[in-house]
Each structure stands twice: as C-alpha cells, then as structure tokens.
Structure 1
Amino acid sequence: MDLHYLWLFYKVAQHHSFSKAAEELLLSQPTISMQVKKLESQLGISLFDRFGKNIYLSREGEFVFSYAAKIFETVKELEDQLAIRKGKIAGNIHIGASNTPGAYILPHLIGAFKQEYPDINVHLHIGNTHEILNMIITNQVDFAVIGGDYNYKKTFVTKKLLDDTVIMIGSPKNPLTQKEYVLAEDLKTQPFIAHEPESNLFDYTEFILKSDLGVPSNISMVLGNISAIKHAVAANLGISIVPLSSIKRDLENGMVKKISIEGKVWNYPFYLVNYSDKKFNVPSTLLIKAIEENICDFI
C-alpha cells in the first residue's frame, strides 16, 4: 500500500470533496482523483460512493478511513515527541468553534497562547453547531468550543467551560430600549433577528420566546453571524437575543441597548467538545489546558 495515496484518500474523506482536498494540499483535482483510484486498485475495493456531484465513503471506505486516521494521528504524535526531545514544542492545531467563542473569545486567548508557544500553529475554523460537529467527526479539527446546550451523541466527549448569558438587544431608536423593564406582551409585535437555524443560538432564541416568555417567535430575518445581527439591530430592523460576551463593547459605545425583562436571566454555557476516541498531540493538550484555565479571563 502506498502511504502517499492513503494520505490523499484521508484528506478527501475528511472534506467529502476532491476539490477541497486539492485546495488544501495545493494539488490539482485530477491528480488526487487519479491517485485515489490507484489506491482503490491496490486494495481491490471501492472507497467512495458517488451520487451526482456528491461523494460518500463506502462501507469499505469507512473501514479504511478509521485505520488511516489512527495511522496519521500516530505520525503526528511521533513528530511532536521528536520535537520535544529536541527541546522544541512545535506543531499544528486545528480547533473548531461556533460563532460567539470563535469570533469574540478564542482569538484573544490564542494570541496569549502564541506568546508562550510561538512555534505552534493554531488554525481556527468557525461554523454553526452542525458544521463544527461534522468537522470533529471527520477529524478536520482536533476539538471545538461550542456555545449553547445541545443533545450530544455518546460519540462526543463534552466538558463545560463556563456560563455566559444571553441578553435581548435593540436599537437606541427602539422605544423598548428606553424602558427599565419591558413586559413579555411588549414583544409580541416586535420583529426578531435570529442566528441561522442550524445553530444552538437559534434554538435557544425559540425556546426563550415560545416557552419561557410565551410570545410568538416573530422572526423576520435570519443572519449567519453575530456581527451581521448586531448591525441589523443597530439599523432598527428588529430586536435580537445574543450572548453577552459578543455584545459588551457595542453596549458600551451605545451601538445597541439592552432590553430587560424583570426577573429573567438566561444562561448560555460554552463546552469543550471532542470525539470520544480522539488522541491529542502535545500542542493540542497544551491549548486545551490554556482554554480550561484562562477562558474566563477573555469573556
């Protein structure tokens, strides 16, 4: 078996795409496709099922992928241990994050981490909950920090890092922001701006409105990131519910204002998530430790 062919197959399987693997590896798509076919010929099996433009691992492909993952994780571990023996901690970490921790917390934490370990490269991938969980499953990221509660499958290991809160915000032009407290009834006619449906924040917004406050979820606009939501709220296109850690500076500078309902506080936890049988290299172990010990300092 040619390990180079196996490596190419491994990257294609991770991305579910020949073109994305080619982009990452700086190779042409026909080159990768040809060499994966050579691997299939060597093994005497079909590694992928093709449906139109989409590819999926075959049953044999899933079996080979599970062993390929173990092989290349072992190679990474060997590289880390050799670096340590030379007195140098270096390597690569791929970390996933949902929008709030990925955009507003982890960049500052990673910056502090890089001051201590300049030879460790950290690659941060931001997406919605479903996208990040899929990246964990396909080994595209080593672990992730995800906001909000979620019914994780047993294949995932989770550790609660801290509790943030979510707050309701509106434009300074919205009359509700001029009140100390508003009633749930005041929200019935308000258009809401929400995060995209495949996010924990969307689910939590629906829960707060329908179950906790008993008002219709009059969602008039759905946007893909918190920054876009904040600007839409500031433009008085609607009100929204967002994590406090994502909005602190905007509250301070008056871009948006908090809308309060007496007696209502909504917690929004952040979790460290990884695949159950994931083996971490030395750099990943160091970053996880830094996140667990210091994340509260960056909220």
Structure 2
Amino acid sequence: MEEKDFTILRYIAEEMHLTKAAERLYMTQPALTYRIQQLEKELGTQILIKNGKRIKFTSQGEYLVSFANKMLVEYRIAKDSLANMSSDVQGTLRIGAASIFAKYFLPSLMKSFVTQYPKVTYNVYTGPSPKIIELLETESVDIAFIRGEYKWPKIKFPIMEENLCLISKHEIDLEELPNQQRIEYSYKIRQPTLGKYRPQTSINDNLRSWWAERYNVPPLTTVIVDSYDISKEMVINDLGYAFIPEPLINKDDGLHKTKLFFKNGETIKRTTWLQYKEASEQLNIVKKFISFVRSQSFHSSY
C-alpha cells in the first residue's frame, strides 16, 4: 500500500460514497473502484460491500481505514519534522478558523505572512467554532481561530473583540424597537447539534439579557435565517432590522449601525481566540506564525 491508498480509504470512509470520494481524489469512479479491487486482491480480503449505490466497510475494511488514518498522521509528522530541520521556514501550516474570521480576517493575515515566508503552504479548514476545536483536539490542525467562549485546557490567548450591533435601513428609536420587524439569526437552523464543544456563554444569551433589561415584550420576529450575511442583505432590502457582528458591516452598505450597551455601560461583544497545543510550538513554522499573529492588530469596525 502507498500513501495514496491511505488517502483513498480515508476519503471513502468520510464520504461513504464512491463518486464523491473519487471527486475529492481527482479520479473517475471506475478508476477508484478498480484500485479498491486491486487492493482487495493484493491483501487477500474484501474491503467494501456494495449494495446498489450504498457501500459499507467490512470489518477488515474498517481496520484498514483505522490503519490508513494512523499512517497518514505518521507521514505528516515525518514531513513536518523534516521541514523543521531546515533553517528556512517551510512546510505545511494547518489552520482551523471560525467561518467569519476566515472570511473577513484570515486572507489578509495570510497574505502578510506569505510575504515574509514564501515557502510555506497551507491547509485551511473553516466552519463553526465547535467543529474547529474538534479538529484542533484531534491534531487535524496545528492552530485554530475560535470565536466565543469555549473550554480549552491548552494554550489560548485573545486576539480581538467584536461588538454586536443593531443594523437597520432607516434610523430606529430604540424605544420603538419591539414594534419593528426583526430578522433573526439562528445558528440552530444550520447546525442542530454542536457536538462535544458548547459555548460557555453565547452572544445570543447576552442579546436576550439585553432585550429583557429594556423591554417586557418579545421581539416582533418576522424572518429567521441561518446566515449573518443573509441577515444583512435582508436589512439592505428594508425587510426589518437585525443584530450582526460589527466586522460584517461596511460603510458602503448604507445602513444605520447602533452599538448595544447594557445599563451598566458594557457592550455585547465576542472575543476571538488563537488556540493551540504546546507541542505544536515545536514546529518552527507554527512558532513563527503564532509570533506573527500576536504582533498584529485586528480592527473589527470601520
């Protein structure tokens, strides 16, 4: 078996669909099927059971998937160690990033780092923060940018804070807010389960506390969406007001922006953290990137 065979088994296990796995491998589905058949012949055992379009690993196949994943990790460690022996900063940096940070901050951050260290290549994984923390725990990524408050027993430090703001097409008197149509963002529409990691406090909890502090009636919610970007577009089209993170608001949007304050003067805000395991700093490329991130200033508003 070769490295490519390990990757084949991993992708099939992740997709449980030969055509989708073939697409990720840049192979045709018949070529992938042929390679599996060759492996079965070479190893003298059946790996997959096909039932129409559905596939299932045999017990021997499940063992091979586990073995393949371990070998891919060992191969990655070997490559990282060899790159780390060089005096140059080079190798592959695996970054996990919460979706909003990945969209609005990570590209410019990477551009600046690439200028200093052009021999570095990147694997970037994006998604909700709980998913990114899971990738960090399993060492699928070296470092992670996490938005919000999650338990992490290893190393973490804050890199920026962002305010939650009210946006509207026209200026709104806050006293009249309960009578205005609201466009509500709901994370649960898209992600019904959060997995192992759940926020210790969520920005929606803080928003509900802010509302309860000011009003004794519920908001007039007329639209529920699963994306802050869609929320903003609906506000631009005058379908109501919304609460969204400040980094998503641009001058060119033509919207009214109001920061939210509790009666004690505190704002509703969320912190973005850089998180990693201590062992990751043994890699020169990771150590350089962490130092670089800590030297940067992140601006969350225009």
TM-score by length of 1: 0.71
2-structure distance, mates of 1:225, 1:170 = 15
Match of 2:128 in 1: 128
Amino acid at match of 1:190: Q
CA apart distance, 1:195: 5.2
Aligned in 2, Cα 1:282/1:9: closer, same or farther, shift over 3 Å?
A: farther
Q: Which runs of 5+ in 1 are unaligned?
A: 177-181
Alignment match, 1:192 = 183
Name structure 2 gaps, 5 residues minimum.
Answer: none
Task: Give the TM-score, by structure 2 length.
Answer: 0.71
Question: Matched residue of 1:100: which SS?
Answer: helix
What is the match of residue 179 of structure 1? none
1:175 aligned to 2:172?
Answer: yes
The equivalent residue for 1:243 is 245
Quote the offset at 1:207 in angstroms. 1.6
SS at match of 1:75: helix
CA displacement at 1:265 relative to structure 2: 1.3
1:257 to partner: Cα distance: 1.5
Question: Whole-Å Cα distance in 1 between the matches of residues 35 and 6 of structure 2?
Answer: 9
Asked whether the 8 Å contact 1:18–1:32 carries over to 2, the reply is yes
* Map of 2:100 onto structure 1: 100
Report the CA distance shift for 1:24/1:6 in structure 2 as closer, same or farther (over 3 A): same
Cα deviation, 1:182-226, whole Å, max 9, x if unaligned, reads 35x73364313315423889x935423434422536544344544
Report what 1:28 is aligned to.
Answer: 28
Task: Encode CA deviations 1:121-163: one digit per residue, 9 max, x unaligned.
Answer: 22433333455456557876444322123467x8xx5624245
C-alpha distance in 1 between matches for 2:44 and 2:151 = 38
Amino acid at match of 2:166: I
Give the CA deviation at 1:30: 3.0
Residue type at the aligned position of 2:181: Q
Deviations 1:8-48 (A, max 9, x none): 212333555544443333212332344345545627465x7
Comparing 204-213 with 268-277, greater Cα deviation is found at 268-277
Aligned equivalents of 1:22, 1:124: Cα separation in 2 = 21
Evaluate the alpha carbon distance shift between residue 161 and residue 236 of structure 1 in structure 2; reply closer, same or farther with a 3 A threshold: same
Cα distance, 1:278 vs. partner? 7.8
Distance 1:57 1:111, change over 3 A: farther
Q: 2:231 aligns with which of 225, 229, 232?
A: 229
Counterpart code for 2:168: S
Query: 2:218: which partner in 1?
Result: 216
Alignment of 1:80-159 (within 5 A): 80-83=80-83, 85=85, 87-129=87-129, 132=132, 141-150=141-150, 159=156
Using a 3 Å threshold, how does the CA distance of structure 1 residues 56 and 77 change in structure 2: closer, same or farther?
same
Distance 1:9 1:195, change over 3 A: same
Cα distance in structure 1, aligned partners of 2:131 and 2:231? 20
Shift of 1:86: 5.3
Give me the whole-angstrom Cα distance separating, in 2, the residues matched to 1:280 and 1:56.
Answer: 39
Specify the SS of the correspondent of 1:110: helix
- Write the distance in 2 (CA, Å) between the matches of 1:130 and 1:19: 29
SS in 2 for 1:175: coil
SS in 1 for 2:77: helix
Sort the Cα spacing of 1:211 and 1:3 in 2 relative to 1 into closer, same or farther, 3 A.
same
